[in-house]
């Protein structure tokens, strides 16, 4: 088993199949990794995103609400969670919930940034779903009967 865990292919196969978006920037804030989940969410292919600078190369509709969180993680060198409404680079409105985790690479002032994000319908969706489930509200029963597991 330990041989499997030492294999880069093992981890690459996991990252390639997760539903969540994962992207990584280098110390210059340019995208160096972009998984399939991120392709689905953003509408960009990895080869279109690689090398793009997060701070300057996307329009305000895509990064305006997101950049303050990115800057906070970058300045504090600590993980930051966020939930934002943005328009994807492909032009689709979306609500995204994610976390930004910096990794110091040299002199404690530059950091790579890992971002994991999930596209969500509404930030309160999970809380409302649990509340409705517990209270037996009709809306939950209707969704449950329709077989929906996500809006």
pLDDT tens for residues 109-122?
Answer: 667 888 887 877 54
pLDDT tens column, 132-149: 666 655 554 454 444 444
How far is residue 17's CA from residue 9's CA, in Å, rounded to a whole number?
12
Q: What token pair was written down for 139?
A: 């809306």
SS3 label, residue 15: helix
The predicted-structure confidence for 125-134, as pLDDT tens digits, reads as follows: 555 555 666 6
Element spanning 49, H or E: helix 46-49
90 bridge partner residues: none
Which residue do the tokens 């895509």 mark? 62
CA dist 102 and 104 (Å) reads: 6
Contact predicate 83/123, CB 8 Å: yes
């Amino acid at each position: 088993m330990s041989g499997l865990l030492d294999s880069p292919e093992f981890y690459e196969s996991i990252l390639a199949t997760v539903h969540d978006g994962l992207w990584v920037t280098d110390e210059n804030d340019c995208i160096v990794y972009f998984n399939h989940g991120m392709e689905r969410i953003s509408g960009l292919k990895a080869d279109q995103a690689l090398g793009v600078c997060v701070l300057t190369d996307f329009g305000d509709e895509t990064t305006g609400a997101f950049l303050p969180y990115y800057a906070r993680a970058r300045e504090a060198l600590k993980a930051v969670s966020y939930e934002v409404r943005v328009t994807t680079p492909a032009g689709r409105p979306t609500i995204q919930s994610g976390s930004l985790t910096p990794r110091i690479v040299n002199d404690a002032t530059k950091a790579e940034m890992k971002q994991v994000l999930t596209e969500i319908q509404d930030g309160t969706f999970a809380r409302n779903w649990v509340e409705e489930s517990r209270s037996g509200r009709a809306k939950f029963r209707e969704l449950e009967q329709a077989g929906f597991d996500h809006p």
